[in-house]
């Protein structure tokens, strides 16, 4: 098989690129490879974990997206790259998750004229003992679903134990007070109230679902303005979430998190303290940074390897000030648009674009539950930002998700789906219970 443009990773950036190019160039020219069968916008994984978003309703099948947008979808993990032969190897798919079962799809090799790597990021445990074994991260849908199902089991056990052990409950520790940790803590608190209504009658959400957020920096949401951190902290504390800053986790066991001299009981631990590039990137023979990201120039091209590009979390792209573009959905979206222009100019026989890619920070919004958000919006003047909170911020936050859906589904289907989901939410429990 050969594809003019081969995109690996159908996430926030890669999927938008595949859809936009597919609509213009068609399935003979554009191929998307992903190791999963369906797409979920990664910033909504904290809602999947809390049970407030149902993966089976929210997930978008790559086959459907390929059909509707005019690209070819190849299911399987990127396994190797032969840059000299301009070929990518996609690994086999087995009937079981452990790779021991029957082979369903064989290993495949795909030739390309242009290759775009967009495989996102994975957890960085910074060598903390027990972190890899005893924590769940929100890197993929499976992780978020595993968290949700474990939480349901722990709630059921606590409910059963309550009559004999009044202190029974669920202790959840979230490590990392960035956007992921803050959003998950708030979402869990709201969800725990709903769980308490549906069958867990002995459990009082704020008393029995004990949520602790641990952050190493002096304040949560450290990269954002202090006003945003303070507002988020106040909202978390109002929701009876214990926030501990300036603390370093030193070890994690199956039932506890240790930070220096303090031991926090924990049946469920979430690692949201750092990300790194997936290991496979350092095995491709391409230049990588210390953290394993693919080094790209200001045109998102990999120097010394004609035809290879990278975008999103897995790419290290320095801006004019030398700072790396942050791993954010808005950066992945902008870079996808930049590459659409790169490829379309080539297609139309125009000279390559001279303008480099420059990250434009439009600000950050952090969801604090289903009805409020906090954040700052960047003004057109450098350094100027506006604080936003409450319902307005929440509506803006939701609109980011809708804009991603619009890029891959089109306006009409996005509107119909949004309406359908709004109605479904009003006719079913607010959290997924099965």
Ligand X SMILES: Cc1cc2nc3c(=O)[nH]c(=O)nc-3n(C[C@H](O)[C@H](O)[C@H](O)COP(=O)(O)OP(=O)(O)OC[C@H]3O[C@@H](n4cnc5c(N)ncnc54)[C@H](O)[C@@H]3O)c2cc1C
Q: Which residues bind ligand X (CB under 6 A)?
A: 8-14, 33-36, 42-43, 45-46, 77-78, 118-120, 138, 179-180, 183, 278, 280, 312-314, 327-330, 332
Count CB neighbours of 165 within 10 A.
10
CB of residue 136 to ligand X, shortest distance in Å:
12
Q: Which is nearer to ligand X, 156 or 371 (CB)?
A: 371
CB of residue 180 to ligand X, shortest distance in Å:
4
Encoding tokens for residue 236? 């978390």
CB of residue 39 to ligand X, shortest distance in Å:
6
Q: Which is nearer to ligand X, 183 or 208 (CB)?
A: 183
Tokens 């079981």: give the residue: 96
Tokens 């000299």: give the residue: 84
CB of residue 224 to ligand X, shortest distance in Å:
11
Distances (CA, A) of 44 to 20, 59, 164, 269, 397: 22, 11, 37, 19, 11
In DSSP terms, 115 is beta-bridged to: 6, 308
Contacts of 130 (CB under 8 A, 6+ apart): 251, 252, 253
CB of residue 76 to ligand X, shortest distance in Å:
7
Q: Can you state the angle between helices 179-197 and 226-238, rounded to 10 degrees?
A: 20
User: DSSP assignment, residue 313?
Assistant: G
CB of residue 179 to ligand X, shortest distance in Å:
5
Q: Which is nearer to ligand X, 130 or 181 (CB)?
A: 181
Q: Which is nearer to ligand X, 173 or 329 (CB)?
A: 329
Q: Which is nearer to ligand X, 17 or 158 (CB)?
A: 17
Q: Which is nearer to ligand X, 196 or 311 (CB)?
A: 311
CB of residue 433 to ligand X, shortest distance in Å:
22
Distance CA 267, CA 257 (A): 10
CB of residue 298 to ligand X, shortest distance in Å:
18
Q: Which is nearer to ligand X, 158 or 409 (CB)?
A: 409
Distances (CA, A) of 308 to 22, 125, 289, 294, 343: 18, 29, 16, 10, 12
Rg (CA), the chain: 22
Q: Which is nearer to ligand X, 131 or 203 (CB)?
A: 131
Distance CA 263, CA 365 (A): 32
Best CA proximity match to 308, nearest among 80, 113, 121: 113
CB of residue 77 to ligand X, shortest distance in Å:
4
Taking phi first (over 0 means left), then psi (-120 to 50 degrees means alpha), and beta for anything else, what does residue 75 get? beta
CB of residue 319 to ligand X, shortest distance in Å:
16
Q: Which is nearer to ligand X, 65 or 118 (CB)?
A: 118
Distance CA 322, CA 203 (A): 52
Count CB neighbours of 225 within 10 A.
16
Cβ neighbourhood burial of 396 (10 Å; 0-12, 13-18, 19+): middle
Encoding tokens for residue 224? 């954002």
Q: Which is nearer to ligand X, 332 or 388 (CB)?
A: 332
Residue nearest to ligand X (CB): 11
Q: Which is nearer to ligand X, 70 or 327 (CB)?
A: 327
Best CA proximity match to 309, nearest among 332, 291, 328: 332
CB of residue 160 to ligand X, shortest distance in Å:
31
DSSP secondary structure of 281-293: GGGSSS-B-TTSP
Q: Where are the beta strands (DSSP E) in 11-107?
A: 30-34, 38-39, 60-61, 72-75, 78-82, 87-90, 93-94, 103-105
């Amino acid at each position: 098989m050969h594809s003019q443009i081969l995109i690996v990773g159908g996430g926030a950036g890669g999927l938008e690129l595949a859809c936009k190019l597919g609509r213009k160039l068609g399935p003979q020219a554009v191929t998307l490879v992903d190791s999963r069968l369906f797409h979920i916008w990664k910033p909504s994984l904290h809602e999947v974990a809390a049970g407030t978003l149902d993966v089976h309703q929210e997930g978008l099948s790559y086959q459907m997206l390929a059909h509707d947008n005019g690209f070819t979808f190849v299911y399987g993990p990127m396994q190797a790259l032969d840059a000299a032969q301009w070929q990518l190897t996609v690994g086999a798919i087995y009937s079981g998750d452990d790779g021991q079962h029957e082979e369903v799809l064989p290993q495949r090799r795909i030739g390309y004229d242009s290759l775009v790597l967009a495989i996102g990021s994975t957890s960085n445990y910074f060598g903390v003992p027990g972190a890899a074994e005893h924590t769940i991260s929100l890197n993929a849908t499976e992780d978020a679903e595993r968290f949700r199902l474990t939480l349901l089991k722990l709630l059921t056990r606590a409910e059963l134990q309550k009559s004999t052990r009044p202190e029974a409950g669920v202790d959840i520790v979230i490590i990392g007070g960035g956007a992921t940790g803050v959003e998950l803590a708030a979402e869990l608190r709201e969800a725990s109230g709903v769980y308490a209504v549906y069958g867990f009658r002995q459990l009082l959400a704020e008393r029995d679902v004990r949520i602790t957020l641990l952050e190493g920096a002096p304040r949560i949401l450290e990269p954002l303005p202090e006003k945003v951190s303070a507002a988020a902290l106040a909202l978390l504390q109002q929701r009876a979430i214990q926030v501990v800053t300036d603390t370093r986790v030193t070890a994690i066991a199956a039932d506890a998190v240790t930070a220096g001299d303090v031991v926090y009981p924990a049946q469920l631990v979430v690692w949201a303290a750092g990300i790194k590039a997936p290991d496979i990137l350092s095995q491709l023979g391409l230049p990588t940074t210390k953290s394993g990201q693919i080094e790209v120039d200001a045109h998102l091209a990999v120097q010394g390897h004609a035809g290879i590009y990278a975008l999103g979390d897995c790419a290290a792209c320095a801006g004019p000030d030398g700072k790396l573009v942050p791993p954010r959905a808005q950066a992945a979206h902008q870079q996808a648009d930049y590459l659409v222009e790169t490829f379309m100019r080539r297609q139309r026989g125009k000279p390559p674009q001279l303008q480099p890619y420059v990250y434009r920070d439009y600000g950050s919004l952090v969801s604090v539950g289903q009805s409020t958000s906090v954040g700052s919006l960047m003004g057109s003047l450098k350094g100027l930002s506006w604080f936003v909170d409450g319902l307005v911020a929440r509506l803006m936050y939701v609109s980011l998700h809708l804009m991603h859906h619009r890029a891959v589904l089109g306006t009409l289907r996005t509107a119909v789906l949004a309406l359908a989901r709004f109605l479904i939410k009003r006719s079913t429990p607010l959290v997924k219970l099965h």
